[in-house]
Every structure is written in structure tokens, then in C-alpha cells.
Amino acid sequence: MSATILFTIISLSAIGATAAIILYFVAQKFKVYEDPRIDQVEEILPAANCGGCGYPGCRGFAEALVKADDLSPFFCPVGGNETMAKAADILGKAVEAKDPLVAVIRCSGSPIHRTRVNKYDGASSCAISSSLYSGETGCQYGCLGLGDCVDVCDFDAIYMDEETGLPVVIDDKCTACGACVKACPNIIIELRKKNKKDRKIFVSCVNKDKGGVAKKACAVACIGCGKCVKVCPYDAITLENFLAYIDPNKCKLCRKCVIECPTSAILEINFPERKAKEETADEDSKTQVKETNARPAGEKENDIK
């Protein structure tokens, strides 16, 4: 071996060794310490990476949990209370259980209720359709029916009903990640508290037009009459912009508002069927009140005597 080749090998080896030593000390100087609990928390998360927690993936959520002093603002909708309890146990922190949520579709405007006035011919996307015009029917607030909510659901928890043209949520699969809520341009999808036996009462309408206009556009639209507000004994219903809204945290599922709604805009889901006697009694009661109010004052006094 010539002296030139030997010198070259020794020189390159020395340079490589020097560079390795320098890089080692630089890495030690600028290394970022990562709490090992982040890996532990990430391991117990569902790895759905759906973003329902508000963070970019389960890793980001785990980092936020480890750094937080209080866990109350955080919640993993897919893992639920069980997963949050495990995370709190790893971190040695307290966490309160939260009511599970489920997505609901606040629109009942099927073809039998909403007459089509034109036909959309373009890209099959609710987002694109909503940016171009107000929809195929007279209601500019309702479901556009092109399935953006279905496309973004990673859990196969929502599908389009061919008969009604509306999305349907499969409650047992819904994780309340909120992806469908964000995808809907008309904001007809809402996350609501999942009650016992998955019973729900909500106004299935988001139309903010006046009563006559809303009724003309859709037979089951909320017309803002306020009857539901008057009969609710729990102050759970508010009326704003000609639209009623039922607060899921105040509603006690008494169903009085359902009976009172003249357009059937309020839905009751997963309740047992009403007994015929109860329905008849409710109708008789309403009739009796109307007749009493229609009588002259003298007749009322005689009836009492």
C-alpha cells in the first residue's frame, strides 16, 4: 500500500471521528427532553387520529394531557370516559366523567315535505353546492343531500337514506368526533347529549325564516309559533330568529313540546309508542280548554255552580 493511500485513509478516519464527536456534543447540547408519559398516554388512546379532541392526532392530544395541570377541558370522544380515566391514572391527576354525545340531523326535509324547485348539476359536494346557490328546494337552510358528512366519517357511522335523501346517524357507531359537524356547510348536524336508552328530543329544523315562508318551503319546518316554549316546564326551550331550540342539558324528556308542535318539527327518538288513551286525553283536554275559553262569562259561572 502506498504512503499516499495510507495517508488518505488516516486523514478521512480522523475527520470522521472528529465530526462524530462534534455532532455528539451538539446533539447533547440541543436535545429536547420528552416526557416518557407521553408514550404511555398515547398507547391507551384509540389511535383514531380523528381530531375530535381538537388536536392533530392522538400524539398531539397525549402531549397536551401531559403538559396540562387541569384535565377538565380535555376529552377524547372516541375513547370516552374510560380512556380519560386511564390517562388521568397515568398522570396522577383527577378527571370528571362527561356525558357522552351523539350526532343528530336537524333537518326532516325529505321530498314529501320539501318540493324541489330546481336541479343541481355540478360537483357532488355540499360545500361546492352551497357556495354556488341556496339548494334545490325553497329552503335555503336544509340538507343539501350530497353526502359530505358521509365522506368525512372515519367510523362508518353515517349514511345517506336513498328514500329521504337525508343523512342518517348510526348511534352505536357514532363517536361524536365532530367531523360531520364541521363538514356540513348548512350546520344542520349537532352533537347532543346521549341520554339513557339513547332517547332524544330536538327541533329537527334550522330554518330562520318567518313562519309563513318557512312553512311554504317545508311542511315540517319550525314556524316560530312559541307553543313549545309555553308548555315546557323546565325552561329548556328558547325562541330566537323564528326558530325554537331545545337545550339538551335542561330538557327532561317530558315530551310535552312534541305534542304541542303544530308542524311536527320536534322529533322524539327511541321512545315507546304513546298509548291511545293518553293521546285521546290530550286531545280532549285541548278541546275542553278551547270550549271553556269560548263561553261567555255567565255560562262559566253557572257551570261552576
Q: What's the pLDDT tens digit per position in 174-209?
A: 999 999 999 999 999 999 999 989 999 999 999 999
* Mean pLDDT on 62-81: 93
Per-residue pLDDT for 285 more than 70? no
The CATH topology of domain 101-272 is Alpha-Beta Plaits (3.30.70)
Backbone angles phi, psi at 236, to 5 degrees: -90, -10
Q: Within the chain, which residue ranges are assigned CATH 1.10.15.40?
A: 37-91
How confident is the model at residue 1, as a pLDDT? 58
How confident is the model at residue 305, as a pLDDT? 34
Per-residue pLDDT of 243-270, as tens digits, reads 999 999 999 999 999 999 999 999 999 9
198 or 31, greater pLDDT: 198
Per-residue pLDDT for 291 more than 60? no
Per-residue pLDDT for 220 more than 50? yes
The CATH topology of domain 37-91 is 3-methyladenine DNA Glycosylase II; Chain A, domain 3 (1.10.15)
Can you tell me the distance from the alpha carbon of 257 to that of 247, in angstroms, rounded to the nearest whole number? Answer: 13
Looking up cell 348539476 gives 121
Q: Within the chain, which residue ranges are assigned CATH 3.30.70.20?
A: 101-272
Distance of CA 83 to the CA centre of its chain: 20
Can you tell me the distance from the alpha carbon of 12 to that of 209, in angstroms, rounded to the nearest whole number? Answer: 80
Q: How many CB atoms lie within 10 A of CB 213?
A: 15
Distances (CA, A) of 150 to 153, 154, 169: 5, 9, 9
Ranges of H-type helices in 186-275: 211-217, 227-231, 256-260
